[in-house]
């Protein structure tokens, strides 16, 4: 996934950790985390704001690790890897695995086959949907911990809440990097604040090569696709689906969902809905 950066924000305090083969960052407005106990975290006594943020980050990290332990196809001990090797069948798999597979099948139907939970070799691979679920669950956990203003970035897939100014109405500003030169920004998009779109996901070949299997073509039409949506799972799935399905899926997605899209053709040509700004 292409890295997406927060732009033009007030002073932020951030914590980072590695999981799912990428870097995950949690950024909050400086001074936005109140001192005190963390709801649901069994540590007695009053704590400073930095300690509260550290505890919240640790809780988020545990959630990501749990998803990775089950669904990573790069971990030989994961349930996903055991399924891939044929050691267990989907019928024998955990309820969580079966539920996410059912969700992925629903997305395959909705996208006309552009999004698929199975690789061309027939191996089940839910990578295209799992990170979105992990981000969403982490966001729910942050809200439950009483942290209302935050930006969570997992390898370029971004979910925000509130505003970069504590208690304010200004949106977070996210920028999309050029797949040919990651020091250059192609466009920006406002997330959160008064707007309905809180999530931004980017799929493509800039970081991991051509890892997305395409729908009926030998090579992907788009080198990179970014989708802004109300929720991160929708944004993540549709970004992947548009890379796989090309212009036909781009048109299907913009007709069927309330999203904004920035698509980069392999020639460098840009296709963008009005929500993206230069």
Contact 73, 80 (CB under 8 A): yes
Query: In the numeric block, which tokens belong to residue 41?
Result: 């975290």
Report pLDDT for 7.
43
Report pLDDT for 3.
38
Domains and CATH numbers, the chain: 4-272 (3.10.520.10)
Q: Cβ neighbours of residue 99 under 8 Å, at least 6 residues apart?
A: none
Strand partners, 187: 176
The mean pLDDT value for 139-152 works out to 92
Strand partners, 185: 177
CA pseudo-torsion sign 57, 60, 62, 64: negative
Contact 218, 194 (CB under 8 A): no
Alpha-carbon span 50 to 118, nearest angstrom: 43
**Counts for the chain of helices (H) and strands (E), in that order:** 5, 11
Instruction: For 69-105, give one letter per residue: b (16+ CB within 10 A) or e.
Output: ebbbbeeeebbbbebbeeeeeeeebeeebeebbebbe
pLDDT in tens, 151-183: 999 999 999 999 998 778 899 999 999 998 888
67 has a pLDDT exceeding 60: yes
Query: In the numeric block, which tokens belong to residue 222?
Result: 């788009």
pLDDT classification of 209: cutoffs 50, 70, 90: very low
Edge-to-edge strand ranges of the sheet holding 270-272: 12-19, 22-29, 150-154, 157-161, 199-204, 222-229, 260-265, 270-272
CA distances from 130 to 52, 134, 157, 206, 215 (A): 27, 6, 12, 20, 20
Least reliable range by pLDDT among 1-5, 50-54, 64-68, 180-184: 1-5
Report pLDDT for 230.
97
pLDDT classification of 11: cutoffs 50, 70, 90: confident
């Amino acid at each position: 996934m292409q890295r997406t950066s927060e732009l033009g924000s007030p002073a932020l305090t951030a914590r980072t950790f590695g999981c799912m083969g990428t870097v995950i960052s949690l950024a909050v407005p400086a001074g936005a985390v109140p001192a005190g106990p963390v709801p649901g975290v069994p540590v007695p006594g009053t704590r400073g704001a930095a300690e509260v943020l550290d505890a919240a980050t640790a809780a988020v990290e545990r959630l990501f690790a749990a998803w990775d332990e089950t669904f990573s196809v790069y971990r030989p001990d994961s349930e996903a890897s055991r399924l891939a090797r044929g050691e267990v069948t989907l019928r024998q798999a955990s309820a969580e695995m079966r539920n996410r597979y059912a969700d992925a099948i629903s997305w395959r139907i909705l996208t006309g086959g552009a999004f698929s939970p199975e690789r061309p070799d027939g191996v089940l691979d839910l990578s295209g949907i799992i990170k979105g679920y992990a981000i969403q669950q982490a966001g729910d956990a942050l809200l439950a911990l009483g942290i209302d203003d935050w930006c969570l970035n997992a390898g370029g897939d971004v979910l925000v809440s509130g505003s970069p100014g504590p208690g304010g109405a200004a949106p977070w500003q996210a920028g999309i990097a050029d797949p040919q030169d990651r020091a250059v920004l192609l466009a920006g998009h406002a997330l959160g604040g008064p707007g309905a779109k809180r999530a931004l996901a980017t799929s493509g070949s800039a970081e991991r090569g051509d890892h997305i299997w395409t729908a009926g073509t030998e090579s992907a039409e788009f080198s990179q696709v970014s989708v802004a949506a109300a929720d991160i799972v929708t944004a993540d799935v549709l970004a992947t689906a548009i890379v796989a399905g090309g212009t036909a899926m781009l048109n299907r997605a913009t007709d069927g969902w309330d999203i904004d899209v920035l698509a980069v053709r392999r020639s460098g040509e840009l296709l963008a809905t009005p929500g993206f700004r230069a």
